Amino acid sequence: MTTVHVYDTTLRDGAQQEGLNLSVTDKLAIAAHLDELGVGYIEGGWPGANPKDTEFFRRARELDLQHARLAAFGATRRAGGVAADDPQVQALLDARTPVVTLVAKSHVRHVELALRTTLEENLAMVRDTVQHLVGEGRTVFLDAEHFFDGYVLDPAYALEVVRTAAEAGAEVVALCDTNGGMLPPQVTDVVGAVLDASGARLGIHCHNDTGCAVANSVAAIEAGATHVQGTINGYGERTGNADLVTVVSNLQLKLGYDLLPPERLAHAMHLSHAISEITNIVPYGRQPYVGASAFAHKAGLHASALKVDPDLYQHTDPALVGNSMRTLVSDMAGRASIELKGRELGYDLAGQPELLARVVKTVKDLELQGWTFDAADASFELLLRREVTGEELSYFDIESWRVLTDSALESSPALSEATVKLTAAGERHVAVGEGNGPVNAVDHALRRALAGAYPELDKFELIDFRVRILDSAYGTDATTRVLIETSNGQSSWETMGVAANIVHAYWIALVDSFTFGLLKQGIEPR
């Protein structure tokens, strides 16, 4: 079997996603992660098109890539010119990458309307630029832009672009579904036809506008393409590009292709989330293979089967991509769900039917009031610990807390002030905190009150805050659920609170968050 290239374009095509803005330092860090994953090629950007990409390629020489080869992306020479004299082509050489990926038009209307040149001159641009770069010692890939739509309109010309590039020395011609409108049967037919007619080594580059980018990429490889392009986490403009992790996992785990070393694929979830941290885009929980919910089971019927054999409700072993099975606890939970979740958290509940029944009843009663433990594992673990040990874990005893919000002038912003009274480490503490809202003020006040007894709290940071109105028919008198996520810089956990008052709900979640965080750090109550 011919080796299939795994080509990542997160740093170029993925960076075109709305709201995604990468610094040079960000791009260098992502490149290192991609190399760790084991991809064969990393497309770094378009040198000469903007100062950031030019600087990236200059600094990328410092990268110690162990597996991947760096590719510079750019266009064929301008119409009417010569590749050797084109400054944009020279910028590709100046990037000093072993691989250059050229984009070229393969759709007759794009040639005539966008490039404003003739079909013959477009072929000359492809031929001249590829030959020049190959002559300079570069491996050349060519992205045939809008190929599938162009093939539907004029298959003979689209094919001629592929033949021209291959004959000029391009190692791969990637067929691009630039508008993302194709479906798998169309991709299969076109790739097969082009392969038969051209004999070129073909690649596939899919966008996700029909939700079929991954399926189209797999279809292309099955039809004979041996080069697949995509982005980590499916980043990209509009609805994104093919998610490279999902594509690779499907091809390798389901169809037997040898794309990445298994030990590297086993880090896929970690690397996917690490790149999410750099892009500052929250990981998608339902992402195939590497999402937090990809192997999460909620229904009690599933849990009963999972106790017997985890594979009964899982399509593959989550460990192959660095993920793990999770049992969600909710009002659907039965004893099997609670037992599995307890085992996951380190509690052996087997042979304790009364305890399991009590926990199930407590969970269902609380969920009736608006709690939802499938979204807050930390709050559930504290509940389970309380039921198992028969005692409440307490790092501090609250005497009282209150919040005031006022504004001195009508034009001044309203500021909040919170006062917390508590006992910790055998001493009574009274602390005041100010903030730009009641939530912020409560957080400051509680931290100040506990600073002397638990300096470890300095590392805790609120990274997400979500509010849900549970019975909106009651308007401002409705019950509120607050879910917060807290991080200590190494891991994160979610807790929740439910109350008629949004600040009270947040207070419950915050106390649980501090309690759980201290527990997980092995801190004993002082």
Please report the pLDDT score of residue 113 as a whole number.
94
Please report the pLDDT score of residue 143 as a whole number.
98
For the cut 70, the answer to whether the pLDDT of residue 411 exceeds it is no
For the cut 90, the answer to whether the pLDDT of residue 127 exceeds it is yes
**Stretch 75-90: mean pLDDT, rounded?**
95
E strand map for 30-85: 41-45, 69-75
Q: Which of the pair, 99 or 475, is modelled with greater confidence?
A: 99
Q: How many helices (H) and strands (E) does the chain have?
A: 18, 16
The percentage of the chain sitting over the pLDDT mark of 90, rounded to a whole number, equals 66
For the cut 60, the answer to whether the pLDDT of residue 301 exceeds it is no
CA distance 397 to 365: 26
- pLDDT mean across residues, the chain: 89
Please report the pLDDT score of residue 50 as a whole number.
86
Please report the pLDDT score of residue 331 as a whole number.
45
Q: At 327, is the pLDDT very low, low, confident or very high (cuts 50, 70, 90)?
A: low
The three-state DSSP-derived secondary structure of 384-451 is: HHHHHHCCCCCCCEEEEEEEEEECCCCCCCCEEEEEEEEEECCEEEEEEEEECCHHHHHHHHHHHHHC
For the cut 80, the answer to whether the pLDDT of residue 78 exceeds it is yes
Q: Residue 463 — φ and ψ, nearest 5°?
A: -115, -10
Q: Which of the pair, 122 or 308, is modelled with greater confidence?
A: 122
Q: Which of the pair, 181 or 408, is modelled with greater confidence?
A: 181
Most confident of 81-95, 270-284, 305-319: 81-95
* Predicted structure pTM score: 0.70
CA distance 49 to 29: 21
What length does the chain have? 526
Please report the pLDDT score of residue 342 as a whole number.
78
**Stretch 389-410: mean pLDDT, rounded?**
87
For the cut 70, the answer to whether the pLDDT of residue 383 exceeds it is yes
CATH number of 5-279: 3.20.20.70
pLDDT in tens, 20-35: 999 999 999 999 999 9
Helix (H) or strand (E) holding 526: none
Sheet holding 427-435, edge to edge: 397-406, 415-424, 427-435
Please report the pLDDT score of residue 473 as a whole number.
56
- For residue 324 the two structure tokens come to 């793990």
- Structural domain boundaries in the chain: 5-279, 296-367, 397-520
pLDDT in tens, 39-69: 999 999 999 888 999 999 999 988 999 999 9
Could you tell me if 226 and 257 are in contact, meaning their C-beta atoms sit under 8 angstroms apart? no
**Stretch 178-189: mean pLDDT, rounded?**
97
Got the DSSP string for 311-372? GGG-SS-GGGGT---EE--STT--HHHHHHHHHHHT---TT-HHHHHHHHHHHHHHHHTT--
**Stretch 268-274: mean pLDDT, rounded?**
89
For the cut 80, the answer to whether the pLDDT of residue 374 exceeds it is no
- CA neighbor of 508 nearest in space, from 383, 365, 339: 383
For the cut 90, the answer to whether the pLDDT of residue 408 exceeds it is no
3.40.50.1470, 3.40.50.720, 3.30.160.270, 1.10.10.10: CATH of 397-520: 3.30.160.270
Tokens 């939700």, located at residue: 211
For the cut 70, the answer to whether the pLDDT of residue 334 exceeds it is no
